[in-house]
Each structure stands twice: as structure tokens, then as C-alpha cells.
Chains A and B, each alone.
Chain A
Amino acid sequence: MPASCKRACDVSEAAEVGPSTIPAICCLRCAAELPAAERPAICPTCGLQYDPARPETYATHRSSSRWKFWLPGFLLSVTVGTLAYAGCLQTGEMGYALFFAVPVSFGAILGYATRVQTWALVFLAILTITTVIFTLIAMNLAGIFCGFTLGIIFLVPTFAGLLCGVLLRAILIATRWDHAWYFRWYVWLIAVMPLGAQQIESAFPHRHEIAVVQTGLTVDATPEEAWNAIMFYEDVQHAPPWLLHLALPKPIRSEGNKQQEGSLVRCFYNCGTISKRISQVQRPRKLSFEVVEVVMRSENYANLKDGSFEIEPVGTRQSRITLTTRYQRKLTPAWIWEPIERKVIHTLHGHVLEGMRRKAEGQEPEEKPKEDEPYERQDGQRPAPRVAVRMPMEAAP
């Protein structure tokens, strides 16, 4: 009579079948399941020998390549990061969505889609940032200097996204959702998140800021000599610092009369041209110009507005030259990008001032400067207020 429980179910079969004590063994070469044997045998699929008495001759589980645990997630993260950056860049806005939402997105995908140890996850995050940056540079979506800066900016949001991805995965596993089924949907949502953030950011009114950068240098020359030494970036003969090599287009030459008010000066670079109109000539005190046209093949991170050279006498044989550049800022947030922009422009001013100093003092163009940074930054010393214009929201069609 078969054993039965209170509900008269036949439980004898369940009683006879105990827990499985013989784990399945697989071939080391083809991973096929090997039949149970008591003596040395060969794999029925590929013919590789094995010995059931020696565990090292077979595998106890189907060996899946370790690459599957991280490579697809890594490639997906790089792809999403690159495409999201390119997509956000198409709107022309370079703000929080581009510099924060994108790295959070591909960091979250990396954390969600990979199953590796913590140290490997950190290494993969850094590798992903590096690969995305290199891809952007290769696709001409970012310059070398901008790419390097992006790499640093991306660090914190990427790791924040990484943490979110890992937590999401842990929550789904803990709640026993079939995350394999929902995998695609979550990944899609995370991937399009930067584009959604970009649309939201574009809907807000923009604050167009005009930034002013001033740099001064005292030269051993009369104002007249300093006036005759006025030159643009394209006219400086000595080699520029490495920062300008990386951050700015390479200047070639300039054409036009810089001493005539109203004349148009065209400046040629390796990737385009900038046309400037001389707006004011007060010999030997002040020369001002305004930028009328910028035609560049590379990414334009600031809208140049105008600039000026101001010369003040200092004593009998010295003059103080002050360069001023006004530009409209395009990159946000300002607390990250403005210091970098000022550093680049101050370096540019310093390079031009050094060229003027050498010419005014009669030095050879190839001589080394007296100091590393002989010029003085004058931001904040001369109150040239920043002009902020609040743009009204566009009316709905």
C-alpha cells in the first residue's frame, strides 16, 4: 500500500527519490555533458578522454566564458555613452545633460549589465570612460584637450551611475523579478535618459552670459613702441605653450590692416577662419575689434564677441599693455568650465603679450621668456560687469 499523506496523495515516489547526489560532469573541451561512468572513458561528442575518479579531468559545470560576464555590458556602455553624447550634442546645448546625464547613464548600464568583482568594476568604469573619450575624439566630436577635461568631469557621475546600476540589479534580484526579461527595457530606459534630460534642459530659459577676461603686462617700451608691436595670435612667431596647442586651433596667418578703423581682418586657422572688424583705433592708447564671423570645422565652445588692446604709459620708458577678450559662454555648469576657459584665454593673452614684448623690446622671437607667467591676470580688478540676458521661453506653436 503506498504511503500517503492526510490528503491521500501518493508520496512513496517522493520518498524513494532522494536529493540528487551525482552532479553532472562536462567535457573540458566541448562542455558536453558526460555520461556517468565507473572507468576512464571518452567524451561522446569530441572524444576527449576523462576519468570519473579524477575531478581534474572534467568540469562540474558548463564552462561559460568569463567574457560574457563583462564584455557585452562594457561594449553596451561604451556604445550608449558615445551615442548619447552625440545625440545630446546635436541640440547645440552643452550643459548638465551632456556632462552629467550621459556619464550617469553609461555608468548605470555598466553597473547593471556586468557581473564582476568590485575591483574589476572600478577598472571597467575607468576603461569605459577612456574608451568613450577616445571614441568621441576619433569621431571629431571632441578635441584632445576637451576630451581630457571630459574624462575628469565624467569620473564622479560615472561612478554614481555605476552605483545606481549595481543597486538596481541587486533590488531586482532580491525581489525575484525576472530581470532577464526586463533587461532590455531597463537598459533602453537608462540609455535614453540623457536625451530626455537634454529635452528638459532645453525647455528651460537660458542665461546667456558674457564673460570678460583681461590680462596685463608691463613692457620696457614707450607706448608708441608698444603700439607698433600690436599683433594678433596668428602673428606671434614663437611657439605657443602646449595648452594652446591642445585647446585652440592652430593659427596660420592674418590678412588685413589692423591700424585702420573699420577695416576687416581675416584670421586663418588650420580648421577655419575668424573675421574681425577694427572698431576703434586711438593711437597709441587703444585698439578694439569685434568678431563678425567665425567659420570653424571643429567644435565651437564659446562665441567670441570682441577684444581690445589698451596701452598706458608707466613712467618714462615703460608701458602697460592690457588685453581684453569678451565672449559668450556656451558650456555649463559655469563652476566647472569657467575656470578652464579663463585659464586658456589667459594663456592665449600671455602668449600674445609675450610676442608683443619681444617685438617692442627688440628681442629675438625665439628667445625664452623671462618668467613662466610674466603677465598678470586682471579679472576682477577692472570692473567690467558680466552681462546676463535672460532669454524668454519660446511661445508654443
Chain B
Amino acid sequence: MTAMSKWTAFLLSACVPGAGQLAARSWTCLPWFAAAACLVAVFAHFGKLADGAAWPLAAQFGAGATLCLLSAEHAKRLLEQGQGRNSRVVSTTVSCAGGHGRSVDIAIVLTVKRSPENLWQQIRDLPRFLTIDPFHDKVIVMRDSPDVGVDLTLSHNAFGCRFLRFGRILAWREGFGYAFSDLSARGPRTGFPHVFDVQIEPLPEPLPSPQHSPPMSRLTIRVRGRWTSWLVPVWLGRLWIRLVCLEHARLLQKGL
């Protein structure tokens, strides 16, 4: 029996709060079902009080949509893998470099309680590390080992919709980082072409203290690309990428 995809649980709970939790075999489906039932009862009672007025419909729709989205996000997080409480990530920041025109430039900086060598062993495992990204489902390195010029096939899964994107390792600095591209199958000029730049920097050791402090490293993941969609305005695209990076940072906290 294959493991349930987190997006399947997301979509189930988006339709019926608690359904994704039930599919994930979590007891938390019960309070979500109860919350949905309470909301329906409130709607029915509120509808009578409103005496046929139209404005409560908007409030009811908003409340229902909010409950569904919250339940969907919770169901998705139930199926995420990661350590959670034992995370080695000390701090996380997501910053935008203020792109011009249609450019997008966002950086995720994490301070990790690992030595650079230890951290490098984690991030060089591309099929595992790159799938921490919220929309990267599977990563295939097209040669036996990653190196400059090696192609990548990046299977994306966004809200249950699967599609392939393709990239290439642009730079590989053993022990320090790498860079790779993420392009649409339709070509490098459409579908938000962007480049990931992953770098590790050792952090200076803190002042001597009675307790031995583990070595610290700074992991920087920089996403630079071009927003090519004409349907969605650039500012909204940057906002969306920022939200995705925030989610990515949260998943990195669990995954490292």
C-alpha cells in the first residue's frame, strides 16, 4: 500500500474538514469533523436570524473557506516527514533582494547547529535535500553522481497536480555548495525559470563557555528567476514565491 501523498490529504480536507486527517489515520479528524458540524449549525441558526438578508452569505462562505484551508494545511503537515522538535536549525530568515522588472530574488538563510562537513553530507544528497522544497516531489540526477553539467529532472507536485521540470547543475563546489537551474519543459523563457544557489559557510565559534557548544554553519538558499506569467502580476508572483520560501524554510527546519 503506497503512502498517501500530502497533497491528497490537503485536497480531501479542503473539501471536507477532517477528511484528510481521517485518510492520514489521525485521531485529529474527530475535532475537525466536530468543528465543521458546529459551523454548519451556526450557519443554519445565523441564516434564520438574518431573515433573508444577503450579506451573511459572504461571512458564511469566508468562515467555511477558512475552516477548510486550516484543516487542509493541518492534514498536509501530518504527512510531512521531519524531526520537528529535534531540529538543528537555530534561526531562519527569508529576505527579498528587491528585484527589478520581472526578476525575483529571494534568499533563505538558516543557522544550523552542524559542522559544515556534516551539513554538506546532507545537502549533497540532491534527491533527498531538494525534495524538502514544498513542491518538489522527486529529483532524478541523470548521471551516477552530481557534478557540473549534469542534468536534473525535477518532478513537481503542486496541490495534487504533477508535472516535470528540468534543470542542470550549473556549479558544484565540493564542500561549499552548488547551483542548479529549474526550467519549464516548454523552454527556458516560460514558466518561471529560476536558479537555486545553495551555499554553506562556517560560522565563527562563539566565546569560550563552560559548556561545549557544537559547531555552527550558515546555509543560504538563494532563488533567482524571472516571473514570466502575464496573467498574474509580478508583485503577486513575488508574494507567492516569498510564501513558498517561507514554507520551504519551515520544512528545512524539520528536515535538517
Chain A residues within 8 Å of B, Cβ to Cβ: 28-29, 40, 48-51, 56-57, 239-242, 244-245, 368
A48 touches B52 (CB 8 A): no
A177 to chain B, nearest CB (A): 34
On whether the beta carbons of A51 and B164 are closer than 8 Å, the reply is no
Interface 1/0 per residue, B114-152 and A, CB below 8 Å: 000000000000000000000000001011100000110
Please give, as numbers and ranges, the residues of chain A lying within 8 Å of B144 by CB-CB distance. 40, 51
Q: Given A241-B51, A241-B52, 4 more contacts at CB 8 Å?
A: A40-B143, A48-B153, A57-B142, A244-B52
Could you tell me the distance between the alpha carbons of A311 and B96 in the complex, rounded to whole angstroms? 76
- CB of B106 to closest CB in A, whole Å: 27
- Mark B33-70 against chain A: 1 for CB-CB distance below 8 A, else 0: 00000000000000100011110000000000000000
Q: Sample 24 A-B pairs with CB under 8 A, ordered by A number.
A: A28-B166, A29-B153, A29-B166, A40-B142, A48-B142, A48-B151, A48-B153, A49-B143, A49-B150, A49-B151, A50-B142, A51-B142, A51-B143, A51-B144, A57-B142, A57-B153, A239-B53, A241-B51, A242-B47, A242-B52, A244-B52, A245-B52, A245-B54, A368-B51
Distance A368 CA – B144 CA, assembled complex (angstroms)? 77
Instruction: Report Cα–Cα, A40/B150, bound state, in Å.
Output: 11
Q: Is the CB of B142 within 8 A of A239?
A: no
**A240 to B54, alpha carbons, bound, how many Å?**
11
- CB of B185 within 8 A of chain A? yes
Query: Which residues of B129-187 have CB atoms within 8 Å of chain A's CB atoms?
Result: 140, 142-144, 150-151, 153, 164, 166, 185
- Give the chain B neighbours of A244 by CB distance below 8 A: 52
User: What is the number of contacts between chain A and chain B, taking CB atoms within 8 Å?
Assistant: 38
- CB proximity of B231 to chain A, nearest CB, Å: 19
Q: Say whether chain B's binding surface is mostly helix, strand, loop, or mixed.
A: loop
Residue numbers of B with Cβ under 8 A of A are: 47, 51-54, 140, 142-144, 150-151, 153, 164, 166, 185
- A49 contacts across to B, CB distance below 8 A: 142-143, 150-151
A103 to chain B: closest CB distance in Å? 23
On chain B, the residues within 8 Å of A368 by CB distance are: 51
Contact between B140 and A48 (Cβ–Cβ < 8 Å)? Answer: no
- Distance of B39 from chain A, by nearest CB (Å): 19
State how many angstroms separate the Cβ of B2 from the closest Cβ of chain A: 15
Q: Are B51 and A239 within 8 A (Cβ)?
A: yes
When distances are taken between beta carbons in the complex, the residues of chain A under 8 Å from B150 are 49
Which of A29, A51, A57 contacts B185, CB < 8 Å? A29
CB of A29 within 8 A of CB of B164, answer: yes
Tell me if B52 and A239 are in contact (CB < 8 A): yes
Give the most central of B142, B143, B164: most A CB within 10 Å: B142
Q: What is the CA–CA distance of A126 and B151 in the complex, to the nearest angstrom?
A: 42
Write the nearest CB–CB distance from B182 to chain A, whole angstroms.
Answer: 13
Q: Is the CB of B151 within 8 A of A240?
A: no
Q: Which residues of A contact B185 (CB under 8 A)?
A: 29
Give 4 nearest A-B pairs by CB, closest first.
A49-B142, A49-B151, A242-B52, A239-B52
CB closest chain-B residue, reference A241: B52
Instruction: Say whether, besides A49-B143, A49-B150, A57-B140, A28 and B51 are in contact (CB < 8 Å).
Output: no
**Chain B positions within 8 Å of A29 at CB level:** 153, 164, 166, 185
Task: Return the contact of A240 from the options B52, B142, B166 (Cβ within 8 A).
Answer: B52
CA distance A40 to B144 in the complex (A): 9
**Bound Cα distance from A123 to B142, whole angstroms:** 38
- Contact partner of B153 (CB less than 8 A), chosen from A28, A40, A241, is A28
CA distance A240 to B51 in the complex (A): 8
- Of chain A, the residue at the smallest CB distance from B166 is A29
For A56, list chain B residues within 8 Å (CB). Answer: 140
CB nearest neighbor in A for B141: A57
Please measure, in the bound complex, the distance between the C-alpha atom of A29 and the C-alpha atom of B185, giving whole angstroms: 6
Q: Which residues of A contact B140 (CB under 8 A)?
A: 56-57
Q: Which of A28, A50, A51 has the most CB of B within 10 A?
A: A28
Residues in A with CB closer than 8 Å to B52 are 239-242, 244-245
> What is the CA–CA distance of A40 and B166 in the complex, to the nearest angstrom?
17
Residues of chain A with a CB closer than 8 A to B142's CB: 40, 48-51, 57
Please name all residues of chain B whose beta carbon is closer than 8 Å to the beta carbon of A240 when the two chains form the complex. Answer: 52
**Docked pose: A166 CA to B69 CA in angstroms:** 35
- Report how far A51 CA is from B52 CA in the complex, Å: 66
Contacts of B164 in A (CB 8 A): 28-29
Q: CA A245 – CA B185 in complex, angstroms?
A: 50
Q: In the complex, which residue of chain A has the Cβ closest to the Cβ of B48?
A: A372
Q: In the bound complex, do residue A48 and residue B51 qualify as a contact, i.e. CB atoms below 8 Å apart?
A: no
Distance to closest chain B CB from A53 (angstroms): 9
- What B residues does A241 contact at CB under 8 A? 51-52
Closest to A28 in B: B153
| B52, B53, B166, B185: residue with the most chain A Cβ atoms closer than 10 Å | B52
* Bound-state Cα–Cα, A29 to B155, Å: 11
Measured in the bound complex, the distance between the Cα atoms of B47 and A40 in whole Å is 67
Assembly CA distance A171 to B166 (angstroms): 42
B155 → chain A, closest Cβ, in Å?
10
CB neighbours (8 Å) of A239 from chain B are 51-53
- Closest residue of chain A to B165, judged by CB? A29
Instruction: Output the least CB separation between A65 and chain B (Å).
Output: 9
- Nearest opposing residue in chain B for A65, CB measure: B163
The distance in angstroms between the C-alpha atoms of A29 and B51, with both chains bound, is 58
For the complex, give the distance between the alpha carbons of A56 and B151 in Å: 13
Inter-chain CA distance A240–B52, complex, in Å, is 6
CB-nearest residue of chain B relative to A63? B164
Complex: how many Å from CA A192 to CA B35? Answer: 47
Closest Cβ of chain A to B58, distance in Å, is 14
Which residues of B sit under 8 angstroms from A40, Cβ to Cβ? 142-144
- B148 to chain A minimum Cβ distance, whole angstroms, is 13
B103 to chain A, nearest CB (A): 25
With CB as the reference atom, state the residue of chain B lying closest to A246: B52
Taken together as a complex, chains A and B put the C-alpha atoms of A239 and B53 apart, in Å, by 8
Residues of A within 8 A of B153 (CB): 28-29, 48, 57
Residue of B nearest to A30 (CB): B185
Q: What distance in Å separates the Cβ of B199 from its nearest Cβ neighbour in chain A?
A: 25
